[in-house]
């Protein structure tokens, strides 16, 4: 299966996916990495791994639809079957989502629906005073952080946690959970029943 990974920043989840593919844990190929930021370190990670990396500047387009048409043209050129959002800081429109229905994954640093739509869910969780937060991998639908949930992992919040320390522990879980979710999709072990995602024989995970 050909994957495309969309990133806006450091690309740590991208690196986790690259590592999992190299280890043979995911039988897929990252055909393309796209970023909306020229200075995104994710582009360097992709190039270092020999993966096609493209910067698409949203400012070059008169409207969001034209920007997304360009994204789709890249995806079709590389015969991409699954789109993976890994720190991509743009909300995809219903037009794009319909084009790749049930073929777009996202990861969010909270236990959705908690802190849904937040651009800083880790900080919001700390400020709210929650005792448990976590990570969610979900399909993308036409609403923000609303699609059917594939996997979740809880992370306890300690009294001593800072935003930085909590974010670090959450990212550790992300780097395990996202490759696992991709593996399940690639292997066809996901069944959709309305909003519920059924998983056949979930493998062991940390």
Rounded to whole angstroms, the Cα distance separating 36 from 85 reads 12
Active centre residues (catalytic): 108
The pLDDT profile of the chain, 206 residues, written as one tens digit per residue, is 999 999 999 999 999 999 999 999 999 999 999 999 999 999 999 999 999 999 999 999 999 999 999 999 999 999 999 999 999 999 999 999 999 999 999 999 999 999 998 889 999 999 999 999 999 999 999 999 999 999 999 999 999 999 999 999 999 999 999 999 999 999 999 998 889 999 987 655 54
Is residue 107 within 8 Å of residue 13, measured between CB atoms?
yes
For 45-148, list the strands marked E by DSSP.
53-55, 82-85, 104-108, 132-139
Is residue 2 within 8 Å of residue 80, measured between CB atoms?
yes
Classify domain 2-189 at the CATH topology level: Rossmann fold (3.40.50)
What is the tens place of the pLDDT at every residue in 106-115?
Answer: 999 999 999 9
Rounded to whole angstroms, the Cα distance separating 46 from 5 reads 10
Domains of the chain by residue range: 2-189
């Amino acid at each position: 299966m050909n994957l495309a990974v969309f990133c806006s920043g450091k690309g740590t989840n991208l690196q986790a996916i690259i590592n999992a593919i190299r280890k043979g844990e995911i039988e897929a190929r990252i055909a393309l990495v796209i970023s909306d930021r020229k200075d995104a370190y994710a582009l360097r990670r992709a190039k270092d791994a020999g993966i096609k990396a493209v910067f698409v500047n949203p400012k070059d387009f008169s409207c969001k639809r034209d920007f997304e048409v360009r994204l789709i043209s890249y995806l079709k050129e590389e015969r991409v079957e699954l789109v993976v959002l890994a720190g991509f800081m743009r909300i995809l429109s219903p037009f794009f989502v319909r084009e790749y229905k049930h073929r777009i994954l996202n990861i969010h640093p909270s236990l959705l629906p908690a802190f849904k739509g937040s651009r800083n869910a880790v900080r919001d969780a700390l400020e709210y005073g929650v005792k448990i937060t976590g990570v969610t991998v979900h399909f993308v639908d036409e609403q923000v952080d609303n699609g059917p949930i594939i996997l979740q992992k809880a992370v306890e919040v300690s009294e001593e946690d800072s935003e930085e320390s909590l974010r670090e522990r959450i990212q550790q879980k992300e780097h395990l959970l996202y490759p696992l979710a991709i593996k399940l999709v690639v292997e066809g072990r996901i069944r959709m029943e309305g909003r519920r995602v059924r998983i056949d024989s979930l493998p062991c995970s940390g």
